[in-house]
């Protein structure tokens, strides 16, 4: 067995972790089409991956309005709470901890996915010109409408209810998805936020929505069971900012005041190169945060071991390697080859490419 620090125990706020390997949130589009709930298939999938010190679920919408892709799960209805309870019970029985990633997509949606066929919402009526999946094909995201100031408190209340539902579903905490061009990220960035009220203009205003969401969720959970994901230098979903270093320095300073369980950062482009643009300084952002730091994006074993040993991060989140390697932590510890990923089965479908990847012994991992 390897004796690197990566495989040693740690704490993320109040959450005790058996190792420092985290399963990153991974959208797999396998929720029930009729009610966006998870079921026994997801319970098996996550339990198979309970070798991770911490599992972060796939992003889960806080409301029907927060949905941006077909067959993604929610955490706003009783059926969804009951479905997630099966998942948390299975993961806990298999010996790991699990938090749910809370999600509102904002403008990254399509009218066919919105209640009553309405327009998606955003800080400002600026289209993303990105792509989404409507259940039949990939389509360009619909142009959004700008949120009225009076509507914002309602979305904050949706985050609070989702956090309360996550407690009832048995999670160990929650992660706020403030990355990848979704609603909170849209408020943070000056390209997508052209508001002239208390939520727009200077960065002090653009972080207001994030602060109100955090205040609500921390009130439900306590700060030491709440994490946040940021992607300061990623332009995924056609998001951009004129000065991301300044914008996210302000956001990280704000988050640092809470005493959170962790800060989860996408290092570079989401699912792409790790390069940081000119004027960007990832280390400077990490240095503004006094708590547990989680790094994410294209880590391999050697990178992860070095990052934790040197203290540049405390935890490392692996994404796609966990899809095809349910026993990823075991494989990393033993430093053995990984299964290849089948890209054709990433989104939608059944157990194929989901719960049938083999463990080192050659058989799919059993999940009680």
C-alpha separations of 66 from 80, 183, 242, 352, 365 in Å: 15, 9, 26, 28, 33
182 is catalytic: yes
Region of 299 (left: φ > 0; alpha: ψ -120 to 50; beta: rest) is: beta
Distance CA 57, CA 331 (A): 21
Nearest to 364 by CA among 21, 44, 117, 13: 44
Set 182, 258, 354, 357: catalytic member: 182
328 with 321: CB under 8 angstroms? yes
Distance CA 102, CA 95 (A): 23
Dig out the tokens for 324 from the structure: 């095809």
Q: Indicate which residues carry an active-site annotation.
A: 182
């Amino acid at each position: 067995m390897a004796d690197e620090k990566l495989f040693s125990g740690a704490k993320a706020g109040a959450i005790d972790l058996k190792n420092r390997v985290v399963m990153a949130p991974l959208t797999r589009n396998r929720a029930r089409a009729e009610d966006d709930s998870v079921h026994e298939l997801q319970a098996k999938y996550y339990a198979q991956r309970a070798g991770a010190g911490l599992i972060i679920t796939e992003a889960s919408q806080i409301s029907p309005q927060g949905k941006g892709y077909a067959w993604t799960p929610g955490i706003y209805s009783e059926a969804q709470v009951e479905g997630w309870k099966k998942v948390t019970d299975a993961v806990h029985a298999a010996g790991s901890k699990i938090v749910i990633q809370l999600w509102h997509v904002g403008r990254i949606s399509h009218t066919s996915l919105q209640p009553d066929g309405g327009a998606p919402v955003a800080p400002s009526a600026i289209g993303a010109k990105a792509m989404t999946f409507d259940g039949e094909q990939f389509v360009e995201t619909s142009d959004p409408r700008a949120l009225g100031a009076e509507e914002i408190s309602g979305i904050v209340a949706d985050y609070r209810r989702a956090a309360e539902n996550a407690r009832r579903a048995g999670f160990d905490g929650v992660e706020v998805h403030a990355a990848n061009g979704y609603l909170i990220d849209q408020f943070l960035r000056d390209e997508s936020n052209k508001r002239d009220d208390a939520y727009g203009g200077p960065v002090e205003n653009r972080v207001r929505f994030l602060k109100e969401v955090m205040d609500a969720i921390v009130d439900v959970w306590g700060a030491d069971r709440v994490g946040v994901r940021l992607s300061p230098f990623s332009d995924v979903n056609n998001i951009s900012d004129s000065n991301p270093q300044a914008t996210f320095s302000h956001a990280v300073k704000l988050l640092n005041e809470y005493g959170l369980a962790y800060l989860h950062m996408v290092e570079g482009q989401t699912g792409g190169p790790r390069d940081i643009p000119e004027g960007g300084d990832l280390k400077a952002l990490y240095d503004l945060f006094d708590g547990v730091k989680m790094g994410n994006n294209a880590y391999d074993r050697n990178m992860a071991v070095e990052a934790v040993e040197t203290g540049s991060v405390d935890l490392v989140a692996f994404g796609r390697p966990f899809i095809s390697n349910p026993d990823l932590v075991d494989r990393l510890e033993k430093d053995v080859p990984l299964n290849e990923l089948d890209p054709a089965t990433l989104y939608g479908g059944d157990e194929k490419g989901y719960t049938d990847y083999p463990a080192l012994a050659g058989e799919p991992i059993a999940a009680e």
